[in-house]
Amino acid sequence: MTKIYDLSDPTKPVFVRDFGLAGQQPGSSGPIPVAHGVHGPIVLGNRVYFAYGTSGEGLLQIVDRQKLLSGPKEPTAANLNAPEISRLQMAPNWGGHTAFPILRVPIADWAPNTKEQTRDFVFLVSEAIANECRESRHASFVVDITAETRPFGVATFQVPESKGNFCKRGGRFGPHSSSESFAPIFYRKLVFVAYFNGGVRAVDVRDPYSPREAALYIPATTERTGERCVTNGTRSCKVAIQTNNVEADERGFVYLADRANTGLHIVRLTGEAAKITGGN
């Protein structure tokens, strides 16, 4: 379960409550609602966005922050359900690793319409977990949450394997997580997705109904990069980049952390992708 603390005085953290899906609480009986818990909820305003499941049987949950913090603290099914605004159950082969809210997005093509030209979304990432594609293909999803109680998937972003022969490069291929930065230079314009041996992908989300790749960067391996192995009768290992996490800052820098011990990469956009942010 997610443990919530009051850090208003960082020197004296105060435990507030445990939170999760009904069925995850200690002493519950029956089936567990999801196999994997939350990597990290994202807070924006009075909402908290939870992604459950990581790589399968996933779920997106939108929660009222005020009710979460001020409601009854005992982890009963009723108390756990009380702050929930809505949830979206994903297909069994996809999970929720990161749920990044992108709110108040103006849809340029809808400008002539008289209603709802501005919409709210969540960028929802399902994590690839098996080396050399020995699993279902994972992707990232755009969920329209303008009607908060009725979230609805409207688009998918994925990197074509055929463009880089990624399934034979070694290690994982597919998304792991997205950036979580609200820096104005990127927010409502670009989301960055860590793609393991596919490096990092800058996704243009100015039209969330048609996300597209704006830029990519695949780091080179070094003497520090570790092997990733599979077994199919015999054990086979390959050295492969595994871009695991990505974050961006208000200066326009993008930070990539590699899972295979290569280290940290710091990059920035150039060319047409940089123009999306107002840069050169």
Span 102-133, pLDDT tens digits: 999 999 999 999 999 999 999 999 999 999 99
Residue pair 68/6 in contact by the 8 Å Cβ criterion = no
Examine the pLDDT at 24 and tell me if it is beyond 70.
Answer: yes
- Say what the pLDDT of residue 280 is: 61
- Which residues have a Cβ under 8 Å from the Cβ of 100 and sit 6 or more positions away? 42, 49, 122, 123, 124, 125, 178, 179, 180, 191
Residue type (1 letter), 203: V
Phi, psi of 109 (to 5 degrees): -70, -15
Dihedral of alpha carbons 93, 99, 104, 107, sign: negative
Nearest of 154, 160, 144, 247 to residue 198 by alpha carbon: 160
Cβ atoms within 10 Å of 92's Cβ, excluding its own: 11
179 token code pair: 């950036």
Q: Please provide the distance, in angstroms rounded to a whole number, between the alpha carbons at the two ends of the chain.
A: 44
In which band, very low, low, confident or very high, does the pLDDT at 206 lie, cut at 50, 70 and 90? very high
Provide mean pLDDT across the span 237-254.
98
Give the domain extent around 159: 2-277
Distances (CA, A) of 169 to 161, 231, 242: 11, 15, 11
pTM over 0.85: yes
CA 80, CA 175: separation in Å to the nearest integer?
A: 30
Tokens 């989301």 label which residue? 191
- Say what the pLDDT of residue 55 is: 95
Provide mean pLDDT across the span 136-154.
99
The 10 Å CB-count burial string (b at 16+, else e) for 116-142 is eeebbbbbbbbbbbebbbeebebbbbb
CATH number at residue 162: 2.40.128.630
